[in-house]
Amino acid sequence: MWNEEKNQLQAIFKFKDFTQAFAFMTEVAAVVEKMNHHPSWSNKWNTVEIHLTTHDAGNIVTDKDRNLAEAIDAVYSKYK
């Protein structure tokens, strides 16, 4: 699901509706706060697009990004 492109991990998550997409974002927000590693993301109705990169490492993909991607996938698995 995640693609590494232009020094970022990128993924698109689809949901049945806006409410479910927003609930996913709320759950992910709690995870990113705990990990202190925040994504760039957007939401359009039932779709959430996430981009991960480590800014303090020079805007490259690091283990912080890979670990966060795994945590996000775990949250998303509840919505499938």
How far is the C-alpha of 37 from the C-alpha of 58, rounded, in Å? Answer: 14
**CATH number of the domain enclosing 48:** 3.30.1360.20
Q: What total of structural domains would you count in the chain?
A: 1
Q: For 17-69, what is each residue's pLDDT tens digit?
A: 999 999 999 999 999 999 999 999 999 999 999 999 999 899 999 999 999 99
CA distance 48 to 79: 13
List CB contacts of 17: < 8 A, sequence separation 6 or more: 45, 46
Q: In DSSP terms, which residues pair with 9 in a beta bridge?
A: 4, 52
Q: What confidence score (pLDDT) does residue 80 get?
A: 82
Enclosing domain of residue 30: 3-79
pLDDT of residue 1 exceeding 90, the answer is: no
